[in-house]
Amino acid sequence: MKSIKEILEGPEISNFSGSDKTRSIVESEIISRWGKAEKKNYDPLRSTLTAKTWIMKFGMIPKKGEKAIRSFVVLETRDTKDPTKVIKRIKSVYLFHYRQVTELAKR
């Protein structure tokens, strides 16, 4: 099992697409929860992931009582009736920062 340090220094994990808007939303939430000093530790490709990613890839779960950081992605699909028309839809994504997770207890 990897440690948090290995995860943060390792290869890119997240599906983050590089949107400045979503990055700034998550960044501001991190600052409000842990202060400006934590901003330097924010890496959208490694340090803030979905609960499913933390659990399935790293065996870590969100700590009891932790609230997810809400972000969003824009999904684009083609209209079935008019293939030249693109439909954009916003989907919420719930993320957990590395400070919010702990190792899954072994049974």
Domain locations in the chain as residue ranges: 4-103
In the chain, alpha helices (H): 4-9, 20-34, 51-58
The neighbour count for residue 48, using CB atoms within 10 Å, is 26
pLDDT tens digit sequence for 44-71:
999 999 999 999 999 999 999 999 999 9
Residue range 71-96, pLDDT digits in tens = 999 888 998 888 889 999 999 999 99
- Rounded average pLDDT over 24-43: 95
Mean pLDDT of 32-50: 95
